[in-house]
C-alpha cells in the first residue's frame, strides 16, 4: 500500500460510493486506507459534513480500530507477533534485535520512512513462532536478520 495525499475529488468519490448505504463510515474509512494509505485528520470536516456526524465521532472510530492509520506507514510493514506462544520462543529478543538493526526504540516507522514495525497479538502461527506478517505475507520462525533481509534493510 502506498501513501497518497487525499484530494477533495477522490474523497468525494469515496463518500458518494457509500453515502446512501447503512453505516457508511466504516466502508468509507476502509476505502480511504486503500486509496491514501492513511486517514488524514484534515479530511474529517469534509467527511463529517457529508455524513452528518461530528469530528469526534470520526476520531472515535478511527482511533478504535488499529488498522486505521492517521499517518502513512512505511513502504514495508512488519507486524511482529507479541502473543505468549511467540514470546516463549524468542519474539522479545527478535524484536529487540530488529529495533537495533532498524534504529527504532519502539514500534513505529524508521526515520527514513521505509519500514513500519507494529505489534500484533496472535497471527495464528503459534506452532512456528516467532511469527510475523511482512506486508501481507505470513512468516514463521523469523529472526531479525530474516525480517530485515526481506524488507531490504
How would DSSP label each residue in 93-131? HHHHHHHHHHT-SSSEE-TTSSEEEEEES--S-GGG-S-
Mean pLDDT across the stretch 42-69? Answer: 95
User: Does the annotation flag 128 for ligand binding?
Assistant: no
Is 21 labelled a binding residue? no
pLDDT at 1: 41
Q: CATH 3.40.30.10 spans which residues of the chain?
A: 76-151
Look at residue 153 in the predicted model and tell me its pLDDT.
84
**86 labeled part of a ligand binding site:** yes
DSSP symbol at 100: H
Three-class DSSP category at 128: helix
Segment 5-16 mean pLDDT:
86
Is 81 known to sit in a ligand binding site? yes
Assigned fold of 76-151: Glutaredoxin (3.40.30)
- Give tens-digit pLDDT for 71-98: 888 999 999 999 999 999 999 999 999 9
- Tell me what pLDDT residue 2 has: 44
**Residue 148 pLDDT level (bands cut at 50, 70, 90):** very high
Residue 4: per-residue pLDDT: 64
* 125 contacts 140 by C-beta, under 8 angstroms: yes
Tell whether omega for the bond before 130 is within 30 degrees of 0, i.e. cis: yes
Amino acid at each position: 500500500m502506498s501513501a497518497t495525499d487525499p484530494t477533495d475529488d477522490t474523497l468525494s468519490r469515496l463518500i458518494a460510493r457509500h453515502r446512501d448505504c447503512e453505516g457508511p463510515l466504516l466502508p468509507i474509512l476502509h476505502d480511504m486506507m486503500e486509496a491514501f494509505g492513511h486517514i488524514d485528520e484534515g479530511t474529517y470536516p469534509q467527511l463529517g459534513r457529508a455524513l452528518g456526524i461530528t469530528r469526534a465521532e470520526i476520531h472515535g472510530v478511527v482511533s478504535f480500530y488499529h488498522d486505521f492509520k492517521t499517518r502513512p506507514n512505511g513502504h514495508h510493514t512488519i507486524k511482529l507477533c507479541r502473543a505468549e506462544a511467540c514470546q516463549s520462543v524468542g519474539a522479545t529478543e527478535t524484536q529487540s534485535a530488529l529495533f537495533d538493526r532498524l534504529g527504532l526504540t519502539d514500534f513505529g516507522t524508521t526515520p527514513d520512512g521505509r519500514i513500519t514495525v507494529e505489534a500484533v497479538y496472535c497471527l495464528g502461527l503459534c506452532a512456528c513462532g516467532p511469527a510475523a506478517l511482512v506486508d501481507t505475507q505470513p512468516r514463521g520462525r523469523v529472526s531479525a536478520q530474516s525480517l530485515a533481509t526481506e524488507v531490504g534493510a
